[in-house]
Amino acid sequence: MRPTQAPFPATRLRRLRQSPSVRALTRENTLTVDDFIWPVFVRSGEGIEEPIPSMPGVMRRSVDKIVEAAKEAADLGIPAICIFPYTGLEERTEDCAGAWDPDNHANRAIRAIKAAVPGIAVMTDVALDTYNINGHDGFVEDGQIVNDRTVEALVKMTLAQAEAGADIIGPSDMMDGRIGAMRGALEAAGHQNVMILSYSAKYASAFYGPFRDAVGASGALTGDKKTYQMDPGNSDEALRLIERDLREGADMVMVKPGLPYLDICRRVKDTFGAPTYAYQVSGEYAMIQGAAANGWIDGDKVMLESLMAFKRAGCDGILTYFAPAAAKLLAR
C-alpha cells in the first residue's frame, strides 16, 4: 500500500527536483554502459566496412573489422557484442547447411573476437533466416514452416557456435521446444557454462525492416512470419512463452521489439524476476536517426531517453545499435 502523503504545502513534490544534485540522489533508475549489448553485422571479405543505408551509422563488417569493433566496444566498457551474419542470395540454400558450418562468417568472427578480446562476452543469433533461400527462420515444406526438423538444425547451429567460443546463445527463431533441445545438447557436449538468452517474446513486427536489409533477408523472404512470431495484440501469451523457456533452461529472456512493447517487459520482470532484456530493433533505431538527421529532435537526448525507458520498464539490459554512441555520452 502506498504511504499517505501530507497535503500541500507540507508536501511539495518539486522539492525533490530542484537541483541536479537532488535529482541525482532521488533518481529511481540509472543507465550505464553495463546495460548494453551491441549488435554488429559480419560479412565475407577483408577490410570491409559497408554502410547500411536504412540504418545510418551502422556497417556490415568483414571479420577483421568486426575484431576492431569488438576492441572499440571493450575500450568503451560495453560488456557484450552480438553477431549477425550477412549472406547474399548466392550463399543461401534450401538445406541451410551454412548455418552450422564451423567456418561461416559468424563462427569465424566468434573465434577472432575471443582470440583478440577475450574479456568481452560474445552473443550469437540462432535462426535459419540468414542461410535460408526462403528467408524464414525455419525450414519450409509445402508452404509451411516446420517446427521439429527446424529444431534439429538449430541444435547443430548452437553447437557449432559454442565450439567456436560463443558465451551467449541467442535463439531468435520462435520454434516450440528449441530451448530444451539446445540446453540438453550443450550439456551433453560439455558446454554447461554457455548461456542461453532466449528471444522468448518476439513479435511479428513491422519494425524489423532495416534489419532484414542488413542481413540480406529482404529480397529472400517469401510470405510472412506470423505462424511462429507473436501476434502484436497478445500479452498473456508472452508470459506463457517466458515461463516455458525458463523451465526448459533459458538463463535470460528477451522481449523484441523494445519501445512498442515496454508493457511486456514490465509484466515479464514483475512476474518472473528473471534477467530480462529488450532489443531496441532496427526500425526504432532508424526512426530516431532519421528524425535527428532532419533536425526534428535532439538525437543524443532522445537516444538516452529511449534507453532509459527500458530500465524504467524493468529491463536488465538492452540490445541497441546506439551502444557505442551512448557509451561515449555516458562517459562524459
Give the residue numbers annotated as catalytic, written as ranges: 202, 256
SS (H, E, C) the chain: CCCCCCCCCCCCHHHHHCCHHHHHHHCCCCCCHHHEEEEEEECCCCCCEEECCCCCCCEEECHHHHHHHHHHHHHHCCCEEEEEECCCHHHCECCCHHHHCCCCHHHHHHHHHHHHCCCCEEEECECCCCCECCCCCCCEECCEECCHHHHHHHHHHHHHHHHHCCCEECECCCCCCHHHHHHHHHHHCCCCCCEEEEEEEEECCHHHHHHHHHHCCCCCCCCCCCCCCECCCCCHHHHHHHHHHHHHCCCEEEEECCHHHHHHHHHHHHHHCCCEEEEECHHHHHHHHHHHHCCCCCHHHHHHHHHHHHHHCCCCEEEECCHHHHHHHHHC
